Amino acid sequence: MQAVILAGGQGTRLRPLTLTCPKPIVPLLNVPFLHYQLAWLRQHGIREAVLACSYGVDEIRRVLGGRHAAGIRLSYAIEREPLGTAGALRNAADAGNGPLVVLNGDVLTDLDLSGVIRLHAERGAQATISLTSVDDPTRYGLVETEPDGRMLRFLEKPEPEHVTVQTINAGVYILERTLLELIPTGRVVSMEREFFPELLARGIGFFGHTISAYWLDIGNAETYRQAQVDLLTGTVTTGVQPPGIRRGNLWIGDESSISAEARLTGPAVIGRRARLASGCRVGPFSVLGDRTTMERGSHIDGAVLWEDVRVGPGARLSACVVADRCRIGANAEIGPGAVLGAGSVVPDGARLPA
Ligand code: GTP
């Protein structure tokens, strides 16, 4: 079975991180995100995936490398101009018969995909959407179904008083390929606003399936960091390990240099060639990218640092995200919720957020 991963969005909610690194390859525990999706697809017997790309495709190609990743044969369908979620699917999928797995390229999940594919076949469905329950559905599109799972209606980002159900679109679909002919070519087409309502209007076999598995849209800074906490606590199960040698709940990258006077408390991940000077402290849920340097007496707690970051002496970083090549000045303090784009420079003694 073929999978199409929608991986061409601009990822505006994850700016400034996505200004230099497209969302499908942002690192989770120092592994590009798509590797988690590909490993999961492989676990469920998928061997072939098309990446529907637009924004940042060159970078995605560079990071994923050749024609294979995680045991999956990869190909790329590139839109000259972004075609929207359904337009991208039409552009990427091979024509023909039989079902197709379609995935938003920002969903971390361990749902039983094989089970959903089986259910789709048993029901004789044309389209099956996975649904997940969230506490606050007002930020999403709600999906209502009949008790037997038959699709009833879509409600885009409703006001709190109009919330009728907690179930939202989880961004994992099984679609019969013949349906792709219903997607107009050559223009932007949205899955949620156009294609799915069209399927409803035509009264075809269109079902929702509510999952109880782990599910997270990694597409904003808060969930991006949360995903890594969940991976480190084993709240989500994946076939992917952080690179490096595991010592208890610490993963230490090759050729890293850690002072005997540094204190590390896991779970945490240290990248390749990282350098930690004496008096450094790394607290739980911290992730240090390759070649990151922590100078004397600096502390990191629950922070995610990308590659080549330099943390000055005495600096304190907690629950923040710091992209490639940032320079953090001596005794600076960066607190929860701060997100620094690539190459940012924080002066000595500065405090963020202010
Ligand atoms: P935000 O701007 O932060 O909302 O992120 P986004 O651009 O990724 O949009 P959204 O989260 O709604 O997209 C859901 C999935 O569809 C993501 O995996 C996107 O990469 C993908 N996507 C969105 N628009 C396009 C598009 O025009 N072309 C392609 N190929 N993929 C798209």
In a domain, 139, yes or no: yes
Distance 331 CA to ligand 1 centre (A): 38
Give me ligand 1 centre to Cα 184, in Å. Answer: 18
For ligand 1, atom 10: residue with the closest CA: 9
Same domain, 294 and 268: yes
Pair 186, 313 in one domain: no
pLDDT (0 to 100) of residue 174: 97
In this structure, the answer to whether residues 141 and 284 fall within a common structural domain is no
- Say if residue 213 is in the same domain as residue 128: yes
Provide the domain count of the chain. Answer: 2
Do residues 132 and 161 share a domain? yes
Rounded-to-integer distance, Cα 194 and Cα 185, Å = 13
Does some domain include residue 13? Answer: yes
Given 208, 233, 258, the domain boundary residue is: 233
Q: Which of 181, 211, 233 is the last residue of a domain?
A: 233
Residues 339, 326, 319, 238, CA torsion sign: positive
Nearest atom (ligand 1) to Cα of 77: 30
The pocket around ligand 1, CB under 6 angstroms, is made up of 6-14, 23, 52-54, 79, 82-85, 88, 104-106, 219
Does residue 270 belong to any structural domain of this protein? yes
Please tell me whether residues 6 and 79 are part of one structural domain. Answer: yes
In this prediction, residue 68 carries a pLDDT of: 87
Bridge partners (DSSP) listed for residue 263: 281
Quick one: pLDDT at residue 142?
Answer: 87
Is 264 in the same domain as 346?
yes
Residue 328 lies in a domain: yes
In this structure, are 61 and 150 located in the same domain? yes
- CA distance linking residue 244 with residue 333, whole number of Å: 28
pLDDT at 319: 96
For residue 75, what pLDDT is reported? 93
Residue 238 resides in a domain: no
pTM for this predicted structure: 0.94
State which of 172, 199, 233 marks the end of a domain. Answer: 233
Q: Is residue 122 part of a domain?
A: yes
pLDDT at 258: 96
Whether residue 253 sits in one domain with residue 228? no
Q: Which atom of ligand 1 is least distant from the CA of 91?
A: 30
Choose one of 6, 156, 216 to mutate for the ligand 1 pocket test, by most ligand atoms within 8 angstroms of C-beta.
6
Please check whether residues 61 and 157 belong to one and the same domain: yes
Question: Which one-letter amino acid corresponds to residue 96?
Answer: G
Q: Any idea what the CATH number is for the domain that residue 191 is in?
A: 3.90.550.10
Q: Is residue 240 part of a domain?
A: no
The three state secondary structure string of the chain is: CEEEEECCCCCHHHCCHHHHCCHHHCEECCEEHHHHHHHHHHHCCCCEEEEEEECEHHHHHHHHCCCEECCEEEEEEECCCCCHHHHHHHHHCCCCCCEEEEEECCEEECCCHHHHHHHHHHHCCCEEEEEEECCCHHHCEEEEECCCCEEEEEEECCCHHHCCCCEEEEEEEEEEHHHHHHCCCCCCCCHHHHHHHHHHHHCCCEEEEECCCCEEECCCHHHHHHHHHHHHHCCCCCCCCCCCEEECCEEECCCCEECCCCEECCCEEECCCCEECCCCEECCCEEECCCCEECCCCEEECCEECCCCEECCCCEEECCEECCCCEECCCCEECCCCEECCCCEECCCCEECC
CATH of the domain at 281: 2.160.10.10
CA max distance for the chain: 68
Looking at the structure, do residues 215 and 260 belong to the same domain, yes or no? no
Q: Which domain holds residue 280?
A: 245-352
Residues 190 and 316 in one domain: no
Per-residue model confidence as pLDDT tens for the chain (354 residues): 899 999 999 999 999 999 999 999 999 999 999 999 999 999 999 999 999 999 999 999 999 887 888 889 999 999 989 999 999 999 998 777 789 999 999 999 999 999 999 999 999 999 999 999 988 888 787 899 999 999 998 887 777 787 888 889 999 999 999 999 999 998 999 998 899 999 999 999 999 999 999 999 999 999 999 999 999 999 999 989 999 999 999 999 999 999 999 999 989 999 999 999 999 999 999 999 999 999 999 999 999 999 999 999 999 999 999 999 999 999 999 999 999 999 999 999 999 887
The best mutation among 106, 172, 173 to test binding of ligand 1, ranked by most ligand atoms within 8 Å of the C-beta, falls on 106
The verdict on residue 111 lying in a domain is yes
